[in-house]
Structure 1
Amino acid sequence: MTNDAGPEKIICPSLRFYKKAGEAVRRLLDEKDLIDRRGKPYSDDTFLCLPLTEDPDDETIRKIEEYVRETADRYGISPDPGAPERIVQTGPDAFEARPEELTVEKILGYSPAYEMIGDIAVIDGKDAENAAGIAEAILRVHPAIRTVLLSEGPVKGEFRTRDLRFIAGIEKTETLHKEYGCRYNIDLGKAYFTQRLSTERARILSLIRKGDFVVDMFAGVGPYSILIAKRAGPETVIANDKNPDAVRLLKQNIEENRVRNIIPLEEDAKDLGERYAGKADHVLMNLPHNACDFLDTAVTIAKPGGVIHYYAMTEEHDLFDGSVELIRKAAARQGREIEVLGKRAVRSYAPHQYNICLDVKIL
């Protein structure tokens, strides 16, 4: 695995994989801070090779292989016609050196916490003291960013909104965000959205099969539902949210992405049980602060063998066990049992607190 182009080179670990899976793999590697920014990636018609700071661990390689296989299956081709058993390859390689880039971290001397959603950057509240300085650095480094906001608190209320303060640029909360080939109209002041769950959304996508019936109980503006409807070929996606502004944007995004196998609803999620009892192959419960209040409904919706994807905020000392027990009790109330298929700490949310996901089959 070599690349001879370029007068100046760096030698570093590398990752070579089917390039149509590039966006999902890049996001995963970015989350783990594994991409070596000193080198330029290179590609051919089929493969992409990325420079890395170190070799990925076995769990990361496994996830990358899942993304590549899912993408290759969708396009109906072998991910590596010459060596199909080696869909992801690692090893040292030579990359053309990048000229030194200006970064927010270099300007400030430390790494602030912020995310970029469309042309809006949102600074985490913990960096409020220097929000103006951070905003100036972001606008300097990222010319596509037109607005910088400060998050002044956690997501709150039944409509899942957060307080945002304008810091710099153009004063607005509306933007268009692009992710995995989908386009989302977003109003951060009226409906919650985070780019930080993009890799998790890709993971869930990889679990959905053609013809599945999917119920997204807390769909928001549609980042799970629309991605699944557009890319996985499900029979139907029920996309529900109680927030009328979120549903208005959801409907707009359904039209924007030209998907027809979604039914948008504006209902209390507890009312979904009677209508969709025993129908769902997958039930999405992305309401991490209080999804536990809706577990009885989720169990009712899940068909025998259906899977609930349950999100929660948990403490470090009890990441998964307490949540598993809540699901087990909800299933038992309906005479059903469970099988835990997967446990995942999606991201760190606060000191010693994590946003987790459990994939649980309802028997």
Structure 2
Amino acid sequence: MRRSCIKVLKKGGEPIRRILLEMDLLDNSARIASKEEFLYLPLTRDPVEAELKVITGEFELTEQEFEEQKGQLKLEDLLDEVPHFEIIGDIALIEDDVPEPEKTAEAIMKVKKNVKTVLAAISPVEGEFRTRRFRTVAGENKTSTVHREYGSRYLIDLERAYFTPRLATERSRILGQIREGQTVVDMFAGVGPYSIMIARKSQDIRVIAIDKNPDAVEFLRHNVELNSVANVEAIEGDANVEAERFAGVADHVIMNLPHNANEFLDAAVKLCARNAVIHYYDITPEDDLFESSLKLIEKAADRAGRSVEVVDTRVVRSYAPHQFNVCIEVRVL
């Protein structure tokens, strides 16, 4: 069968494979092909321009003949249409409006042997603490699990604290920018996926992890112990307030609060030492991916008598039709 695909050097294939998986672009019905020093990663469809910007490294969009994956039960064998779903630990998440959710849940548990529970979201991400409500569709009646990512473990209750595995590659990318001896402030730390990964890199990195949700901070503190990292300061509080006592200490400020991060830009600038980098996340429309958000950052710096230079702008993932989760990185001078 002929498929659109990504052609990439073998040594750079795994990071791109992970990105394609997170964007639901990797076609698991076809076997990944290799020829000489190249891998060919089959795609479910042609990526749009914004999605191509997410794929890091050198690659080529092309077409290739692929062998069908045989001998492995696939969701396509059991369902007429495969819906989007996420797996966190041993829990699979589906939307409540999928057709025949019970049939979908049964199929997921047959194919994904590690899944013990299938939950359907019955609310959007809502409220000050960005949580969701779920109903159990199949399996054990629970909302808590232990999720593993890049060697770290996170205890999570999905109804008490927000978490998505779809940012795993993005978290790893940020990790690559952090150096020994630096201080990182994670303004909206949640259960700790950014903070703990960064802290595990070196004991000489100081991580200040802040969150307003007391449940999230409870899990954060548990996960600090679970991963044996002593260099994370877990703080329950409002990042706008906590910025006062940590003013000027940060070499990196992580602002992973899409939709609302703009309300904390003054605090983020206050946290910054000279030449610190702010990693600002937002949800933006495809016709204004970066410009409006960048203006907000520049205005916040100007109010503090400082300036910024753009380090990078990138699309992290598709969020909704014509909307994207983006990251803007600026150096605060």
Using the size of structure 2 for normalisation, the TM-score is 0.86
- Asked if the contact 2:179–2:205 (Cα under 8 Å) also holds between the matched residues in 1, the reply is no
Determine which of 127, 136, 141 is the counterpart of 2:106.
136
In the TM superposition, what are the counterparts of 1:1-363 in structure 2 within 5 Å? Answer: 15-18=8-11, 22=14, 24-31=15-22, 33-34=25-26, 38-39=30-31, 51-53=40-42, 63-64=56-57, 98-127=69-98, 129-231=99-201, 234-363=204-333
Q: What's the CA shift for 1:169?
A: 0.6
Contact 1:16 1:89 in 2 (8 A): no
**Stretches (4+) displaced over 4 A:** 12-19, 34-37, 48-51, 54-57, 59-62, 88-98
The letter for the 1-side match of 2:19 is L
Cα distance between partner residues in 2 of 1:335 and 1:138: 54
Describe the superposition over 1:97-146 as per-residue Cα deviations: whole angstroms up to 9, x where unpaired. 7524222233212220110000000003452x432221111111111101
What residue ranges of structure 2 are gaps of 5+ in the alignment?
Answer: none
Contact 1:272 1:301 in 2 (8 A): no
**By how many angstroms is 1:91 displaced?**
11
Q: Residue type of the partner of 2:56?
A: K
Q: Residues 133, 61 of structure 1: CA spacing in aligned structure 2 closer, same or farther, 3 A cutoff? A: closer
| SS of the residue 2:129 aligns to | coil
In the superposition, the TM-score normalised over structure 1's length comes to 0.79
Contact 2:256–2:281 (CA under 8 A) maintained in structure 1: yes
For the 8 Å contact 2:298–2:308, the answer to whether it is kept is yes
Q: Is the 8 A contact 1:239 1:262 kept in 2?
A: yes
C-alpha deviations, 1:284-320, integer Å up to 9, x for none?
1111121111110000001111111111122222221
Q: Is the 8 A contact 1:13 1:93 kept in 2?
A: no
Shift of residue 154, structure 1, vs aligned partner: 2.0
Distance in 2, matches of 1:244 and 1:13, equals 43
Identity of paired residues, percent? 49
Whichever residue aligns with residue 178 of structure 1, its letter is: R
What one-letter code is carried by the residue in structure 2 that aligns with 1:53?
P
| C-alpha separation in 1, matches of 2:199 and 2:295 | 31
Q: Does structure 2 retain, via aligned residues, the 8 Å contact 1:121–1:149?
A: yes
Q: How far does residue 153 in structure 1 lie from its aligned partner after superposition?
A: 2.5
Deviation at 1:17, TM superposition (A): 4.2
1:240 and 1:267 in contact (8 A); partners too: yes
Check whether the contact 1:339–1:360 (CA below 8 A) recurs between aligned residues.
yes
Note the residue ranges of structure 1 that are not aligned, 5 or more in a row: 1-11, 43-47, 66-87
> RMSD across aligned C-alpha pairs, in angstroms?
3.1
Q: Write the deviation string for residues 202-257 of structure 1: whole angstroms up to 9, x where unpaired.
A: 11111212221100000000000001111255520001111111111111111111
Deviates more, 1:252-261 or 1:90-99: 90-99
Equivalent position of 1:74 in the other structure:
none
89 and 287 in structure 1: CA distance in 2 versus 1, 3 angstrom threshold: closer
Letter in 2 for 1:300: K
- Aligned mates of 1:117, 1:289 — CA distance in 2: 23
Higher helix share: 1
Matched letter for residue 106 of structure 2: E
SS of residue paired to 1:264: strand
Asked whether the equivalents of residues 253 and 268 of structure 2 are also in contact (C-alpha less than 8 Å), the reply is yes
